[in-house]
Structure 1
Amino acid sequence: MNYTILALIAYILWTMLLLLSLAGFRTFYNKANNRKSLKFDASGNDVGGFGERLTRAHANCYESFVFVAGPMIVALATGSAAITNGLAIYMILARLAQSIVHIASVANIAIILRFVFFLVQFGIAAYWLILLLQKFA
Structure 2
Amino acid sequence: MTISALVLTLFLAWTLLLLVVMEVLRSHLVITGRIRSNGITPDNAGLSPFMRRLARAHANCVEGLPVFGGLLLVALVTGRTEVTDALAPWLLGARIVQSGIHLASTSATAVNARFAAFAVQMAIGIYWVWKLLGL
Could you state the TM-score of these two structures normalised by the residue count of structure 1?
0.92
Amino acid in the other structure paired with 2:5: I
Quote the offset at 1:38 in angstroms.
3.4
Matched, 1:104 2:108: no
In the alignment of these two chains, the number of paired residues is: 135
* Distance in 1 (alpha carbons) for counterparts of 2:25 and 2:33: 12
Alignment of 1:16-27 (within 5 A): 16-27=16-27
Report the Cα offset of residue 6 of structure 1: 1.2
Q: Displacement, 1:32?
A: 4.0
Task: Quote the offset at 1:66 in angstroms.
Answer: 1.6
SS of 2:38's equivalent in the other structure is: coil
Residues 47-105 of structure 1, C-alpha deviation per residue, up to 9 Å, x if partnerless?
A: 12110011110111001112211111000010000000010000000011100110111
Aligned to 1:55: 55
Counterpart of 1:56 in 2: which secondary structure?
Answer: helix
Partner of 1:77: 77
Give, in angstroms, the shift of residue 35 of structure 1: 2.3
In the other structure, the counterpart of 1:46 is 46
Identify unmatched segments of 5+ residues in structure 2.
Answer: none
Which amino acid is the alignment partner of residue 2 of structure 2? N
Q: CA deviation at 1:40?
A: 1.7
